[in-house]
Amino acid sequence: MNNVLRLIDKLEKEHSLTVQEYEELIEWRDDEAAKILAQKADSVRKGIYSNKVYVRGLIEVSNICKNNCLYCGIRSGNKSCERYRLTKEDILECCEAGYRIGFRTFVMQGGEDPYFTDEVLSDIITEIKKRYPDAAVTLSLGERSYESYRILKEAGADRYLLRHETANEMHYGKLHPKEMSYSNRMNCLRNLREIGFQVGCGFMVGSPYQEESYIANDLKFIEEFKPDMCGIGPFIPHKDTPFRDEKAGDPSFTCYLLSIIRLIHPPILLPATTALGSISGDGRERGIMAGANVIMPNLSPQNVRRKYELYNNKLYSGDEAAEALESLKKKMLSIGYEISTERGDIKK
């Protein structure tokens, strides 16, 4: 048996490889390995979640951000970005529309907008939980203090997404302004875990300066941290950032990594991300077939959707829109999966 197949077998049985082995699994990948990995990932996922694909209604609450991350289209230094911020009423209207369509998870995602203080957020979270006690609230609002995370949990938030972006400290430094630090990022993830959130991390595939060996460290980090969720998607350049001329990440490689992550931590909730769907016409379907089991359609008010532009040509219409749930259901059925409108917590 060749070495890659041996590594895939080991990963399937032990859910663990050395960093060196992850590196080999990445370096020696080919179509056959991708196919075998995807089959194993799919069957492992089906053993836990059957053919269900969970949906989350994504509400992009603000594209105002105090950070100036080099890759991101809503970075503070981008003067061409048309800024917006939703009000409490806007957000509640999104939830109402989403609940009616069937969504039982609302994700409030946004830049690090100082307007969203603990008080403002607690008020909104409390109201959502009061109106929809059977729905989960997920936050994706960046780095905050331990005390802040604690207050948000207390207000009723269930889950928190904070991509670690890269598990290599030097690489982290090349993607972020000097005010931001790898250690604070990782500390935030540990704090969120300690406070009792279901926690999601994640990284971009093919980000500038990324080397394949760094991804082995991302995989080791995921193996050790055992996040409840993990968002990975290809890097896609944005014209108003310093990385405008960098090349985009590879969707096939992203799917390969999705399969590996499924085998590392079988119960993980793994989205086929908007970035994957944006870069490849059938990206989302390919992600699901490779082992992903979550899709996050856009539930933001129609008039702001195009403004939350993290990268160029980000999808916000078609099946990416929450209103298109019926069409998404059909698409998923055609590849053998069933959209579930359950809350979809991690099965441990």
Q: Which residues bind ligand 5AD (CB under 6 A)?
A: 71-72, 163, 165, 204, 233, 235-236, 238, 275, 310-311
Instruction: Please say which residue, 198 or 273, places its beta carbon nearer to ligand 5AD.
Output: 273
- Residue 28 beta carbon to ligand 5AD: minimum distance, rounded to whole angstroms: 26
Instruction: Please say which residue, 278 or 340, places its beta carbon nearer to ligand 5AD.
Output: 278
d(CA 42, CA 298): 25
Instruction: Please say which residue, 239 or 330, places its beta carbon nearer to ligand 5AD.
Output: 239
Q: Which residue has the tokens 């259901």?
A: 329
Instruction: Please say which residue, 45 or 185, places its beta carbon nearer to ligand 5AD.
Output: 185
* Number of residues written out for the chain: 348
Instruction: Please say which residue, 44 or 91, places its beta carbon nearer to ligand 5AD.
Output: 91
Instruction: Please say which residue, 36 or 180, places its beta carbon nearer to ligand 5AD.
Output: 180
- Residue 178 beta carbon to ligand 5AD: minimum distance, rounded to whole angstroms: 18
Position closest to ligand 5AD via CB: 311
Pairing of strands 52-55, 57-62: unpaired
Instruction: Please say which residue, 132 or 308, places its beta carbon nearer to ligand 5AD.
Output: 308
- Residue 313 beta carbon to ligand 5AD: minimum distance, rounded to whole angstroms: 11
Strand partners, 201: 230
- Residue 238 beta carbon to ligand 5AD: minimum distance, rounded to whole angstroms: 5
- Residue 182 beta carbon to ligand 5AD: minimum distance, rounded to whole angstroms: 14
- Residue 202 beta carbon to ligand 5AD: minimum distance, rounded to whole angstroms: 6
- Residue 310 beta carbon to ligand 5AD: minimum distance, rounded to whole angstroms: 4
Count of CB atoms situated within 10 Å of the CB of 88: 14
